[in-house]
Amino acid sequence: MSATVRPRRGAVAAKAPLGRPFATQLASTGLANLGDGVLVTLAPLVALSLTTSPAQVSLLSAAAWLPWLLLGVAAGVVVDRVDRRRAQVVALGARALVLAAGAGLGFAGALTMPLLVGVVLVYGVTEVFADLGATSIVPDLVPADRLPAANGRVLGVQQVANAFLGAPLAGALVVLGAGIGFGASAGLAALAATVLAVGLRGDFRRVAPDGRRPHALREVREGLAFLVRHRVLRPLVIASSVLNMASTAYFAVFVLWAVGPGSAMGLTPAQYPLVMLGFALGAVAGSLVAERVRDRLGEVPTLMSMLTASVVLMLVPLAWPDAWAVAVAVTAVGVTNTIGNVVSMSLRQRLVPGPLLGRVGGASRTLSYGLMPVGAVLGGLVAEVAGLPATFVSAVAVSLLACGTLALRVRTADVRAAEDAPTAAHRASSGDAAVPLAACDGVRP
C-alpha cells in the first residue's frame, strides 16, 4: 500500500493546469485575433487612400462597434441557448466569407468608402457572436480559481495577435494591396473556425437549473434585470461604457495625428503599426503579471489604479508627439489597460451565474460597446470642427471623470457583499423575489 505524501508545512499548493480544451480555445482566439489585427490596422490605412476627412475615417470605428449596440442583448440570448463552441465556429466562418468578399473588391479595384464601411460593419456583426461565445465559454474550460490566469492568457494572446503580429503584417500587406490584406484576414478567420471545430470536443450548451428554457424575451429581461440591480456590475459597466466611448473617440482619428507628411508625428503607413507595437508588448507583460498585481494590491485598488493610469498616459502623444515617446507611453498603456481588463473580466465571470453569462455579457456590452460608435462619430465631428487636440483632451477629461465616479461607487466591501449573495440576486432578476432596487444596488444616502 502506497504511503500518502503530505505537503510540507508552508509549501504552496500547486495550481490546477488550465488544460488542453482551454489551449485549443486559446489557439483559435489567437488566429482569429491575428486576422482582426490585420483588418483593424488595414482598414483605416486603406481609407487614407480614399479620403482625408476625419468624419469619414471615424465611420470605420463606428461601423465596427455599431453591431454591439444593435445586437448585443439578442446575441447574448443566442449564446446562452446554443452550444457556445458552435456559436464561435459559425460566426468565424461567416466572417471569413465577408472578408473574402472584401478581398474580391480589393483585387478588382472597386473599393470605395461606403463599401469599406459596409465590409467592416458586417465583420462587426460576426464579432458580436464570436466574442460573446469565446468569453462565455472560458469558465466551462478552467477551474474557477484559475480564471484570472486564463483571462490573462486570453488578453495576452489577443494583444500579441492584434498588435504585435497583426498590425505590422497589415503595414506590409497594405503595400501589396487591399485585396491581399483582406484575403489574409479571411484565411485566418477560416483557420480559427477549423481549429475550434476539430480540436474542441463536447457540448457547451448551458441549461437552466430546472432544465426548462423560458421565453426569449423573459431571458432578455432576466439578463438586463440582473445587471441593473447588481451593486458592483452596474457601476462597472457604466464606467467602462464611458471609457470605451472616450477611447474610441480618441483612436478613431489618431491615425490622422500620426500618419502623413502633414501630421504631428509624420509617420509613414508602414511605420505606424511599428509604433503601436508597444501596446502589444505592454499587454503581454500586463497579462502575465495581472494575477500577481491583483494579489498584492487587492482587486478593487488594482482596477482603479490601472484604469486611471492608462487614461493619463493618453496625454503623451499630444504633449510630446515624438515616435519614441509615444511608443513608450503606448507600452505603458498596454500594461495598465490589460491588468485592469483582466481584473474586470474575472470579476464579472465570478459574480454572474454560469447560465446568465451570455445574456449579462450581451447586455453589458450593448452599452459598453454600443457607445463606441457614438464616440467614434463624436471624435470625428469634434476633430473636424475644433481640431484633433480638442478630441484628445476631451476624451481624457471624460475618462478621468468616469474613473473617479467608479472609485466612489465600488469598494472592496461591495464586491464581498455581492459574492455573498449571488443566489438572491439571481432570484431577484428572475422575478422570484420582489427585492427593492435600492436594496440590491446598495445605494448610499
pLDDT-above-90 percentage for the chain:
31
CA distance 339 to 293: 8
CA distance 234 to 240: 10
Residue 13 lies in a domain: no
The pLDDT score that the predictor gives to residue 372 is 82
Average pLDDT, the chain: 81
Q: Residue 100's pLDDT band (boundaries 50, 70, 90)? A: very high
CA distance 61 to 343: 26
The pLDDT score that the predictor gives to residue 172 is 78
The pLDDT score that the predictor gives to residue 4 is 40
Q: How many helices (H) and strands (E) does the chain have?
A: 21, 0
Domain extent, residue 265, equals 20-205+214-441
- The CA-based angle 312-317-321, given to 5 degrees, is 150
pLDDT above 80 for 420 = no
The pLDDT score that the predictor gives to residue 97 is 96
pLDDT-above-70 percentage for the chain:
85
What SS3 class is residue 7?
A: coil
The pLDDT score that the predictor gives to residue 201 is 83
The pLDDT score that the predictor gives to residue 445 is 28
Mean pLDDT of 395-401: 96
Question: Grid coordinates standing for 86?
Answer: 458552435
Mean pLDDT of 347-367: 74
pLDDT tens per residue across span 213-254: 555 566 667 767 787 788 888 888 899 889 989 998 998 889
Q: Are the beta carbons of 89 and 196 closer than 8 angstroms?
A: yes
What SS3 class is residue 407?
A: helix
Q: At a CB cut-off of 8 Å and minimum separation 6, what does 367 contact? A: 72, 237, 238, 241
What SS3 class is residue 214?
A: coil
Q: Is 168 exposed, middle or buried (0-12, 13-18, 19+ CB in 10 A)?
A: buried
Tell me, what CATH number does 344's domain have? Answer: 1.20.1250.20
439 compared with 12, residue with greater pLDDT: 12
Residue 429 lies in a domain: yes
Q: Are the beta carbons of 67 and 124 closer than 8 angstroms?
A: yes
pLDDT tens per residue across span 245-286: 999 899 888 988 998 888 899 988 778 877 777 887 888 888
Q: Are the beta carbons of 266 and 256 closer than 8 angstroms?
A: no
The pLDDT score that the predictor gives to residue 277 is 76
Mean pLDDT of 287-300: 87
Residue 6 lies in a domain: no
- The CA-based angle 439-441-443, given to 5 degrees, is 80
The pLDDT score that the predictor gives to residue 377 is 85
pLDDT above 80 for 343 = yes
331 compared with 271, residue with greater pLDDT: 331
pLDDT tens per residue across span 151-179: 878 877 887 787 678 877 887 787 788 88
Residue 2 lies in a domain: no
The pLDDT score that the predictor gives to residue 354 is 67
Residue 1 lies in a domain: no
Residue 222 lies in a domain: yes
Mean pLDDT of 358-383: 80
Q: Residue 102's pLDDT band (boundaries 50, 70, 90)? A: very high
Q: Residue 426's pLDDT band (boundaries 50, 70, 90)? A: very low
pLDDT above 50 for 427 = no
Look at the chain and report how many structural domains it folds into.
1
CA distance 303 to 80: 28
CA distance 435 to 353: 18
28: left (phi > 0), else alpha (psi -120 to 50), else beta?
A: alpha
Q: Are the beta carbons of 389 and 263 closer than 8 angstroms?
A: no
Q: Residue 31's pLDDT band (boundaries 50, 70, 90)? A: very high
Q: Are the beta carbons of 129 and 122 closer than 8 angstroms?
A: no
CA distance 191 to 164: 19
Residue 11 lies in a domain: no
Mean pLDDT of 55-66: 84
Q: Is 346 exposed, middle or buried (0-12, 13-18, 19+ CB in 10 A)?
A: buried
Cα end-to-end span (Å), the chain = 64
Mean pLDDT of 17-45: 88
